[in-house]
Amino acid sequence: MTAQWQSLITVTVDGKNLGTFDSRVGGITDAEIAKYRAGGGARQRARLGRGDHGDVTVARELHRERDHELARTLRARVGKATISIVEQLLDEDEVPWGKPVTFNGRLKSVDAGDADSNSDDERMFTIVATITEIS
């Protein structure tokens, strides 16, 4: 059994290592599969479908010194930059286990978190990637 905390998530954009992130959401691989039923009560058939990968969102607590200027730089590269997100499973001793999963694609969005004078919630730095390949 593996818990969600047993992952090491690292991000690289345009070849620059952005470090470790706290969470990853998305990256599902899915396909549109059409069904067809011929006349005369024939059995339904499923046609071939092509696989597609969903977007991946990674997030970490925003640290001003590390992420403020980084967010500004990344915003200028949205839609252009290549991105690689690597998720390495960890065992119960936090030692890497197995082969990591790599999500490759393009930088889709950057969010340096919300601002609210009435909130004590932590501010999160979030990156979304459009995924073209998972290995």
Structural domain boundaries of the chain? 7-28+53-134
pLDDT(41) > 80: no
Question: Using CA atoms, how far apart are residues 109 and 84, in angstroms rounded to an integer?
Answer: 14
Residues with Cβ within 8 Å of residue 134, at least 6 apart in sequence: 27, 29, 53, 101, 102, 103, 104
- pLDDT tens digits for 76-122? 999 999 999 999 999 999 999 999 999 999 999 999 998 889 988 89
Q: What is the pLDDT of residue 60?
A: 98
Q: What is the pLDDT of residue 42?
A: 81
Q: What is the pLDDT of residue 133?
A: 97
Question: Using CA atoms, how far apart are residues 102 and 27, in angstroms rounded to an integer?
Answer: 10
Q: What is the pLDDT of residue 59?
A: 98
Q: What one-letter code names the amino acid at 50? A: R
**Closest by Cα among 74, 72, 96 to 16:** 74
